[in-house]
Structure 1
């Protein structure tokens, strides 16, 4: 019989990537579903709470442990890609490793977010997405899951086997069980032709639908204190058309020296002298240039993020995005704001996962950021209030102030998810304060 590594009694300090979530907990590192099952059964019998964690990239307290942390890093096996493009990977496998392994076999994930350091299970649990009017988030690429319940049962779920669990667990918040393996549907490897350049928020608001559907994957960044945007338009192209990646010197200059090094200097200066943030933002906006290149898809989707920050992101009905952006600009201009980071705008197609932020509606995502170690204050509060007027749904892994009562009104299938949670974890072994807030305590009405 396989036994999970026993908690040592030694407590370890943990912090997330941004440093705003911290805890001192015991940590275990199971290497199989059987070890996870043994651990959960033992914890439940002792009345302990267990929280699984991947890479710790969430800004919200969704992954914050209160007693025992289950680290997924040893659950990192990658299987062979099947002839129809499916691959099964361990829960702790990082997206950047999955991308590299798939490419070696001639496959790609069809869409990605702009960070690839997350473990696959954590990325799914929080509803990670990329951009593209015709493309869903990461959950839409899942074809099966292996999930260990609080009772130690190992469920292998897909659309036909335990379909209610499969449906909910694609964006499961880590509340239904510990995901130990994921089967993803890949597509034949492809390239992206990237075109980046300056634009304006005025033009983006006035021609939002046309702009955001002009190529396969469109996003833009608005620089507060200006009307300037950085527009990114990516078009899917076959690999046999050839690659034309950025020269090494240009990639280093643009992405390391300017996007990370110089921007870090702007952020640091703004923190020391907030009054300089508006002129620095105008200076940054004027420095935007145009560039284009073609490379393997995951190398274009993903950006390096070396300047640490806190983020709030709300998903709104796509048709409401222009009005939300116009109102966000209005309150920004009317207030005494000091926003050093740009506001990011993306799209996603509707999907059918109960707690996906794009569940049953085509979606626009609007994200605000502040430097790590600072208080978001009224800037995040303004975004939350404006998006709330149109039924905005917060990204589960990013900062927000909503609780179960408000979230129930924004998710038609909220109670369906909570019912699955209550059935699979009736004593709240996998809970924490965040889940108690956003879902309601186990067995409650969730209000």
Structure 2
């Protein structure tokens, strides 16, 4: 597997765009402008909805607008309602059914797919946020489904004895119901998606009926309802209550390091097997990857000393400069460039000494730098994407990609300290045996469109254990499907390669994402057997999805038609996914 990390004159005869007048050290100026761009976008654009305020305004008869987290989707529903109990919810659903209105439930709005949009009745379940019971001996928790993941994690950590969710995604501000509905996952070959930890649930249907089902329900109809509702895309009813397996609390130690991209890709199985959680980031056209590796340890408040094996050798050999910085220094570049590289090296050394104690604010700084750099690069024509990736975006990502950190409350070490805002994202899941062919095709795809697509932001790689859920992108028909974990959530035995998947997420900031993401879907992910994330961007419809999921997909649709015969919980996006029609 090869890339063109340092090659500026390519075999197909084209060259990168000419350099700007400031030949060296230009990333310094880019950072200054990027900070300004980020501050403006974060100050005036990235503002979360206030569901309570929207509900109060709607009750007064005012027109309200709800928006997704990145303000890409803005919807003005006929009503925005926030029920506080089952009676109110059932009354709303029955009234909507009588007036033939569509109903959709929204939480934090952190989705790139328009699953929650409607011009009918929009519901928010923030008041369904109670913890109903915690059973430490059975390691289970029952909660109302509108609770935010961060609040649930905090309550479990405060319990005596402390507990934790087995795994979460990289964000924790979503509602639990929304995370389950879209198949939210974390990373780690020993850990399944969040929906796999659900053991029982409660669903209120379009007719106001309250259904309860479990994984081992003796009633086949309720067992099928459970199987469909555990990952339901908001198309069955309103999820109001969830019982989940939890684990004993744990602490997390984490380290960041840089390695050549080809090294990471060729050794990914070994890297993933050596830690509990693995996150890989790389910027197209730079040839360098950042690894974020995490280990779970018994809970402690004292930062431990941990031997990462040969990792320090890797760090020492790779030095503190990226490939482009090293080549610039070796080629006798200007004094400004050499000074810049020394500054970067000093900052990395300083940040490495602080990471163990101050990782949260350094993590926020790194991700905000990255977000700002992506915004800045999108101000220029797409032909300059490879140039800015090397000079601005990658340095922003790698500046603090060094050192170790410690999280006494382990759930804080699983999620990111902050998250880039206002970007578009597609994510595809590939069986491990397909990954090498797929990632090779993706690198070739990027090189063939160098300077033609807006590949100006992070490509993120994670790994996840397989499951047997009907609509899970990680579904496997064979291989181990148990949920056998020890007290830290680790599988008692490391599963073989057929039981885990690799996810590749491609992010775009500022540019029109469609040409990039649609072409990659058609030329890379679909030919290699990929399945898309339900909550992110993809362009598949019923026929393609039915072929990908087979009989479980049809089982889900049969349950959906039984529970919602009037299609009250459907919208135009879900009709594309679930209604048979002519092939496009």
Q: By the TM > 0.5 criterion, same fold?
A: yes
1:15-72 CA distance string (max 9 Å, x none): 1001111211111111122322221111111111101111111111111123110111
From 341, 346, 350, give the equivalent of 2:462: 346
Q: For the Cα contact (< 8 Å) 1:229–1:285, is it kept in 2?
A: no
Which residue pairs with 1:378 in the alignment? 515
Shift of 1:246: 4.1
Superposition CA RMSD, Å: 2.3
SS at match of 1:205: helix
Shift of 1:285: 3.6
Whether 1:279 and 2:387 are equivalent positions in the alignment is: yes
SS at match of 2:131: coil
Which residue pairs with 1:290 in the alignment? 402
Shift of 1:201: 2.0
Which residue pairs with 1:235 in the alignment? 295
Task: State the TM-score, normalizing by the size of structure 2.
Answer: 0.71
Q: For the Cα contact (< 8 Å) 1:33–1:154, is it kept in 2?
A: no
Q: For the Cα contact (< 8 Å) 1:205–1:326, is it kept in 2?
A: no
SS at match of 2:242: strand
Shift of 1:374: 3.7
The residue correspondences of 1:387-406 to structure 2 (distance < 5 A) are 387-406=525-544
Q: For the Cα contact (< 8 Å) 1:66–1:432, is it kept in 2?
A: no
Measured in 1, the distance between the counterparts of 2:89 and 2:474 equals 31
The 3 A distance-change label for structure 1 pair 343 and 306 is closer
Whether 1:87 and 2:141 are equivalent positions in the alignment is: yes
Shift of 1:391: 2.3
From 97, 113, 121, give the equivalent of 1:68: 121
1:78-99 CA distance string (max 9 Å, x none): 2231132211222221111111
Which residue pairs with 2:363 in the alignment? 255
Measured in 2, the distance between the counterparts of 1:388 and 1:152 equals 39
Which runs of 5 or more residues in structure 1 are unaligned? none
From 188, 193, 214, give the equivalent of 1:132: 188
Q: For the Cα contact (< 8 Å) 1:317–1:390, is it kept in 2?
A: no
Tell which deviates more after alignment, 314-323 or 279-288. Answer: 279-288
From 258, 275, 283, give the equivalent of 1:223: 283
Which residue pairs with 1:11 in the alignment? 63
Shift of 1:152: 0.8
Measured in 2, the distance between the counterparts of 1:199 and 1:225 equals 15
Shift of 1:357: 1.0
From 326, 329, 333, give the equivalent of 2:440: 326
SS at match of 2:127: coil
SS at match of 2:547: helix
From 497, 504, 512, give the equivalent of 1:366: 504
The 3 A distance-change label for structure 1 pair 90 and 246 is farther
Whether 1:266 and 2:373 are equivalent positions in the alignment is: yes
Measured in 2, the distance between the counterparts of 1:90 and 1:231 equals 36
The 3 A distance-change label for structure 1 pair 136 and 249 is closer
SS at match of 1:186: strand
Q: How many residues align?
A: 439
SS at match of 1:399: coil
The 3 A distance-change label for structure 1 pair 293 and 247 is closer
Which residue pairs with 1:431 in the alignment? 570
Q: For the Cα contact (< 8 Å) 2:112–2:535, is it kept in 1?
A: yes
Shift of 1:380: 0.6
Q: For the Cα contact (< 8 Å) 1:59–1:310, is it kept in 2?
A: yes
Shift of 1:264: 3.2
SS at match of 1:358: coil
Shift of 1:249: 4.7
Which residue pairs with 1:409 in the alignment? 547
SS at match of 1:417: helix
Which runs of 5 or more residues in structure 2 are unaligned? 1-54, 305-353, 477-498
SS at match of 1:420: helix
Whether 1:174 and 2:234 are equivalent positions in the alignment is: yes
Measured in 2, the distance between the counterparts of 1:268 and 1:445 equals 39
Measured in 2, the distance between the counterparts of 1:183 and 1:282 equals 47
Shift of 1:212: 2.2
Q: For the Cα contact (< 8 Å) 2:434–2:529, is it kept in 1?
A: no
Whether 1:301 and 2:414 are equivalent positions in the alignment is: yes
Which residue pairs with 1:113 in the alignment? 169
SS at match of 1:34: helix
Larger radius of gyration: 2
Measured in 2, the distance between the counterparts of 1:331 and 1:420 equals 40
1:124-162 CA distance string (max 9 Å, x none): 000000011111011011111111011111011112331
Q: For the Cα contact (< 8 Å) 1:32–1:180, is it kept in 2?
A: no
